[in-house]
Chains A and B, each alone.
Chain A
Amino acid sequence: MKYLSLIFANLRRKKLRTVLTVLSIIVAFLLFGYLSAIKTAFVAGVDVAGADRLITRNKVSLINLVPLAHKNDIATIDGVDLVTHQSWFGGIYQQPSNFFAQFVVEPEPFLDLYPEYVLSDGEKAAWLGNRTGVIVGRSLADRFGWSVGDRVPLLSPIWSQEDGSRDWAFDISAIYEGAEDGVDTSQMFIRYDYFDEARRGGQGMVGWYTLRIADPDRAAEIAQEIDRTFANSPDETKTEPEGAFIQGFANQVGDIGFIIGAIVSAVFFTILLVAGNTMAYTVRERTNELAVLKAIGFTDTGVLGLVLGESLVITAIGGGIGLVLAWLLVAAGDPTNGALPVFFIPTQDLLLGIVLIFALAFVVGILPARSAQRLEVADALRR
């Protein structure tokens, strides 16, 4: 601690340079924190996906439907505990920019499969008692100011009703909560029985199957067995873990993790050069002072520690402020007004940010610090 005043005094030597360096580090860590929240929003489902859940979809693509008849065949396969299906509804509420996800599901097996969507018994009964009923997540309800009993009109570009109308209306039976951070509460779930009766065309076809298996260690074996069952049929399937399925869903807009990783890496590389340059200059212009410190008794290791300490203080101030700003911005809410319902900086990313602060301090400071450590006192004093 007693060396801190010396470290801070050195940082005040060129105030503008220090401030600019700290600002650049703030920007880097602000971006890191904010982009990690965006990445989380895109892959949130992957993290909470059940290890015991598999998805069976049409082998051709996600938008191709699969026959309802597959359900019984899947249910008989050894190791499959429970099977249900879901379909993409794709309705528009008022205007396309109000996008949110709507899925058609079988209520009871669906809620059984997804305990992370929390409903009370009363709420569950209310949904089961109303064929036009839907459940919506808390963040979705908050986004549009909905409450239980509200009627929600949706225009579906995909599904029309028997009379040819594409206008649908649903009653909100309940609002579900997420059981943990990362559970998507921005969705609407529609009852399949009502949907299937009301739609024109497509009867007997569903989007995909979700199944629970008794032993997650047998997931690969069971997936192969399911796909083998429907091989060479008109509707071949592809079965994969739910996490991979959701990841594939998110990847339809690009590999978000890779894109964000690339941006953050580029930013940090730039900051590495900026801060590294600053530290190199800081040491080079103080050769004589460092030699004096050694002359009066500071050890080589002590001088190395002082330079690394300066590097750490700069990155800790910049990185700390950057992470706090990112946290405040993320806490202020989803910038898309609801399209990214799961929007927070995960704890492990905050911890990674702190590790990055230390790593950046080390990488930026080690070369100048080693140079200071190796400084020959007598030589340096003669310069």
Chain B
Amino acid sequence: MSELHSDEELAGAQPDGTRAPGASTLVDVRGVDKVFKRGSEEVHVLGGLDLKIPDGEFLALMGPSGSGKSTLLNLIGGLDRPTQGSVTIGGQRIDSMSDRKLAAWRARHVGLVFQFYNLMPVLNARKNVELPLLLTKLSASERKKRATIALEIVGLSHRLGHYPRQLSGGEQQRVGIARAIVTDPTLLLCDEPTGDLDRKAGGEILDLLHALNTEQGKTIIMVTHDQLAADRASRTLHLDKGRLVDEAQP
């Protein structure tokens, strides 16, 4: 059970922030500690954290630098492992998976959006979006088709052949989002997706994420420092010193 929410509360969360009776828990984080070792020193980033996120929710994670937001996001995305506790996504314990299984699980279930886009500069927009599909058995033509559709969804069908250096920050982030959704993942994890954008471009990215949540039912967890960005989420959690301290709903 979450420190702040009961199962009953979470089970009814709707993509638009309202609760729907019967919605299932997608993310279940229980008693998670995360300790980093810096030389001989141990840094406790997360301590005894419990969190449940229902399927279809758009959750914002806020908190000061070093509060553990990105670490929590990494644990939920299977990019890192907890020192203690469990992380269950869609009924699967991901913290105990082998590295190989975890990589396959990420490829199938998680879409990642980064603050600095993290596109491959040597690949054009379509090839960047196609990258996760290389891990599937899809044919080259099918990969191309799906990448094109993903870019259409984010409004970049006219920029397929452009390289990252030829795109604005907002456009690069759209390519990043297209790459994240091209495999139709269960979960979208966004680490400060508007952090490197001006307000207008940031607003467009948030509109896009909101649409993916409401229209396609994607469960989104977004780390942000921006209250305006957090306001677009259906629920906001605050972390401080590795613990959840507060909850806000729009």
Contacts and interface: CB of A to CB of B under 8 A. Distances in A.
Given A295-B112, A377-B80, A9 B127 contact: yes
A377 B131 contact: no
Contacts of A300: 99-100, 103
Contacts of A292: 112, 114, 118, 120
User: Could you say which of A12, A292, A376 has the most chain B C-beta atoms within 10 Å of its C-beta?
Assistant: A292
Nearest to A286: B120
B160 interface: no
Given A9-B122, A296-B106, A381 B134 contact: no
B228 interface: no
A298 interface: yes
Given A2-B134, A295-B112, A378-B79, A13 B121 contact: yes
B1 interface: no
A145 interface: no
Contacts of B132: 296-297
Nearest to B100: A299
B79 A9 contact: no
Contacts of A297: 103-104, 106-108, 132, 135
Interface string B56-92: 0000000000000011001001011000000000000
Contact of A9 (B80, B103, B118, B123): B123
Contacts of B232: none
Chain B interface size, under 10 / 10 to 19 / 20 to 34 / 35 or more: 20 to 34
B140 A2 contact: yes
Count chain B CB atoms within 10 A of each CB in A298, A301, A377 and give the residue with the most: A377
B235 interface: no
Given A294-B103, A300-B99, A381 B131 contact: no
Interface in A313-361: none
A278 to B, nearest CB: 16
Nearest to A296: B132
Interface range for A: 20 to 34
A229 interface: no
A288 B121 CA distance: 12
Contacts of B107: 296-298
Nearest to A303: B103
Interface in B89-117: 99-100, 103-104, 106-108, 112, 114
A5 B122 CA distance: 10
Interface string A34-56: 00000000000000000000000
Nearest to B133: A2
A382 B74 CA distance: 11
Interface in B135-191: 135, 140, 179
Nearest to B143: A2
A250 interface: no
A60 interface: no
Contacts of A301: 100
B134 A6 contact: yes
A289 interface: yes
Contacts of B112: 292, 295-296
Contacts of B100: 299-301
A381 B99 CA distance: 17
A108 B100 CA distance: 74
B84 to A, nearest CB: 17
A293 B131 contact: yes
Nearest to A380: B79
A314 to B, nearest CB: 15
B99 A299 contact: yes
A168 B106 CA distance: 88
Nearest to A377: B79
B79 A295 contact: yes
Interface in A253-312: 288-289, 292-302
Contacts of B103: 294, 297-300, 302
A144 interface: no
Interface string A1-45: 011011001101100000000000000000000000000000000
A302 B107 CA distance: 13
Contact of A12 (B79, B122, B134, B179): B122
A12 B124 CA distance: 13
A292 B140 CA distance: 22
A381 B114 contact: yes
Interface centre among B71, B114, B118 (most CB of A within 10 A): B118
Contacts of A377: 74, 79-80
A302 B131 CA distance: 13
A153 to B, nearest CB: 69
Interface in A119-144: none
B121 A378 contact: no
Contacts of B134: 2-3, 6
* Most B C-beta atoms less than 10 A away, residue of A10, A293, A301: A293
User: Which of A301, A381, A382 has the largest number of chain B CB atoms within 10 A?
Assistant: A381
Interface in A233-249: none
B110 to A, nearest CB: 8
Contacts of A13: 121-122
Contacts of A3: 134
Nearest to A297: B107
A47 to B, nearest CB: 48
A311 B236 CA distance: 47
Nearest to A2: B134
B80 A378 contact: yes
22 contacts: A3-B134, A6-B134, A9-B120, A9-B123, A10-B122, A13-B121, A289-B118, A292-B118, A296-B107, A297-B107, A297-B108, A297-B135, A298-B103, A299-B100, A299-B104, A300-B100, A377-B74, A377-B79, A377-B80, A378-B74, A378-B79, A381-B118
The 7 A-B residue pairs with the shortest CB-CB distance, nearest first, are A297-B107, A378-B80, A9-B122, A299-B103, A292-B118, A378-B74, A377-B79
